[in-house]
Amino acid sequence: MTSVSGYANRIAWVDLSEKRVEYLEVDEDEAAKFIGGRGLGGRFLLKHAIGKDPLSPENILVIMVGPMTGSDAPLSNRIAAITRSPLTGAFADSHCGGYAGPALKLSGFDGVVLTNASDKPVLLVAKNGTITIEDAKALWGKTTFDAYQSVKRRYGAEAVFYGIGPAGENMVKFANIMHFSRFAPGGRASGRCGTGAVMGSKRVKGLIMLPDLKRKPQPANPDKFKRAIEDSLRRIRESDITSPGKGGLSVYGTAVLVNVINELGAFPTRNAKQTIFEEAYYISGENLRGTILRRQWTCFMCPVACKRESEVKDGKFKHESEGPEYETVWALGAMTGLGHIEAVSYLNYLANSYGLDTIELGNTLAVACEASEKGLIKDSVKWGDADAFIELIKKIAYREGELGNLLAEGGASAAEKLGAPEISMSVKKLSIPAYDPRGAKGMGLTYATSNRGACHLRAYAISSEVLGIPYKTDPLAYDGKVDVVIYFERLFAVLDSMTFCKFSSFAMTKEDYAALYSGLTGIEVTPDDLDKIGERIWTQERYFNQLHGFSRKDDILPRRFFEEPSSHGQVYDREMFERMLDEYYRKHGYDPDGRVPEETLKNLGII
């Protein structure tokens, strides 16, 4: 690769069985077509992970950043873990904010690819463009919090940790990768899809990064980059959502959405048997701010400061932890029938400590509650029973007992084994997030067509249906939602590859992203160019899934949404859903079964 600004031009290829590290340059043509992060990571997956069992040594785990990561661009702070999911068998990428992404870039890398598996626990240490493989026996078995404290003592206060807890070590199918640093001491998570289980299967406790600020990316066109930053920051300041100290995210955090979505009647409650939670206020951002908020944190180069750190000073829920975020207060709150902010925050603390994805955890606990209610399991797990949830979370993390081991497979697999797959609110075995499609039709199509399973961050249709971005649509309307979903699919594929926080899209425009990318890298792109890149990245992931047997049969919503009315008496119309799916495939250039034709793959430069 010729010298392109924004890239470290160095990817570590780590063979864990041989304890050998090779250093690769970034392919310039591939970078132009797939950018970095999710896109370039997906390229490695397509070349090296087809047909590989997710938890086998042959699978790979790619940890990637993008050209914008670590630069002065606002909200340019994400890191992506890309692999084949042990939870779904599909394409998986899991993103995290904070400082891990910039730390990897400032340690001299665009990415680290983990191949094969170690015979003993190890740590990878990134510093000055070099990866060393070090013994982690003393850290194996430790919670993420304790592991980070040990890392600080061993490597210093500047060390940035991106690693797993007991859940990842025990290969719980929805284990995550947690990130800690001196600026994010409460923990951030690469949560969805079970990437932590893949790291655990390779006997890697984590990646330690020792950044050097002298490695900060320098723009190819400083004047253009500076203007683009100024324009982006002005939009962020002017937005009612992102304005520092004024916007909803800054003041109340992501949980500002609780009351909004609950009033809409789209807040899945008690395993989505209802869509309004009568105790929603008690788990809302407003109540969190007035009760357990300790302080606010922000991510690298982010003026929004949506992150919270919570503290319960005494009692059985005593703890200090990051969050809880909107998705977490919903999943561990409304979805399980628990309306107690201190208890919900404590469950979040446990999940972060063990290294568990809170969305999947809450859904899995909800499956246990409904299974108990229906007499499908012998254990008593009642709605809103915080004490029972505390015990069960530990059992899941350590795969203790019959029920703990069952639920460690995830809600969808557990429901199937219990003979009641209909009680899992999941798509492609990934459980839904905090928006009920009966009250937000665009989110229904988003869940069904998402390449990684039920996911709100593949195409955040709520942005249009509730926030009016990029334009307002009726949440109960079906017409026009295909265009909204495709718009966000393409945009978010690009943001995940550059890598920007998706919250930037509440204020910034495609013109802003194009100007920032062009100013930093020196590669001139237009908004239309970004659309084409986004479609290429999206289709690459669809093709990866297609090679593993996924098709239209998998682009479906849970039966409950079609057949059981919401609290407002709404269902998702099955006929309209199928018509939307036909339109979606047609506009993407897929065949009626949702498969990507060879011609489309060639036209996009995927094969």
Convert the pLDDT of each residue in 444-503 to its tens digit: 999 999 999 999 999 999 999 999 999 999 999 999 999 999 999 999 999 999 999 999
At 297 the pLDDT is 82
C-alpha 229/C-alpha 29 separation (Å) is: 26
Please list the helix, strand and coil fractions of the chain in percent, rounded to the nearest 5, in that order.
45, 15, 40
Q: Copy the structure tokens of residue 522.
A: 């020196």
**Is residue 191 within 8 Å of residue 159, measured between CB atoms?**
no
**Is residue 475 within 8 Å of residue 266, measured between CB atoms?**
yes
The answer to whether the Cα torsion of 94, 98, 100, 106 is positive or negative is positive
Closest to 343 measured CA to CA, from 332, 355, 354, 330: 332
C-alpha 514/C-alpha 231 separation (Å) is: 12
Rg (C-alpha) for the chain, rounded Å, is: 22
Q: Which residues contact 328 (CB under 8 A, 6 or more apart)?
A: 344, 348, 351, 358, 359, 362
**Is residue 261 within 8 Å of residue 281, measured between CB atoms?**
no
**Is residue 156 within 8 Å of residue 141, measured between CB atoms?**
no
Question: How far from chain centre, in Å, is Cα 89?
Answer: 16
Q: 481-498 and 574-588 helices cross at what angle (nearest 10)? A: 50
Residue 496: CB atoms within 10 Å: 29
For 255-431, the fitting CATH number among 1.10.569.10, 3.40.190.10, 3.40.50.1980, 2.60.120.960 is 1.10.569.10
DSSP 243-301: -TTTSHHHHH-GGGHHHHHHHHT---BTTTTBS--TTGGGGSHHHHHHHTEEEEE--TT
Amino acid found at 225: F
C-alpha 90/C-alpha 96 separation (Å) is: 20
Q: Copy the structure tokens of residue 45.
A: 């997956």
Per-domain residue ranges for the chain?
A: 11-215, 255-431, 441-506+526-603
C-alpha distances out from residue 280 to 258, 263, 339, 435, Å:
7, 9, 7, 14
At 2 the pLDDT is 63
- Mean pLDDT split into 10-residue runs, the chain, 607 residues: 87 98 96 97 97 98 97 95 98 96 97 98 98 98 97 96 98 97 87 97 98 93 97 95 86 92 97 98 95 89 89 94 94 98 97 98 98 96 98 98 98 98 98 98 98 96 96 97 98 97 95 97 96 98 98 98 97 98 97 97 96
pTM: 0.97
Residue 586: CB atoms within 10 Å: 12
> Looking at domain 11-215, does it have CATH number 3.10.129.10?
no
C-alpha 254/C-alpha 326 separation (Å) is: 5
**Is residue 367 within 8 Å of residue 421, measured between CB atoms?**
no
Strand order from edge to edge, sheet including 184-190: 130-135, 122-127, 204-209, 160-163, 177-181, 184-190
Looking at domain 441-506+526-603, which CATH architecture does it have?
Orthogonal Bundle (1.10)
φ, ψ of residue 334 to 5 degrees: the values are: -60, -40
Helix (H) or strand (E) holding 510, with range, is helix 510-521
C-alpha 209/C-alpha 191 separation (Å) is: 20
Place of tokens 């999940």: 351
At 104 the pLDDT is 98
The answer to whether the Cα torsion of 310, 315, 317, 319 is positive or negative is positive
Q: If you ran DSSP here, which 8-state letter would residue 555 be given?
A: S
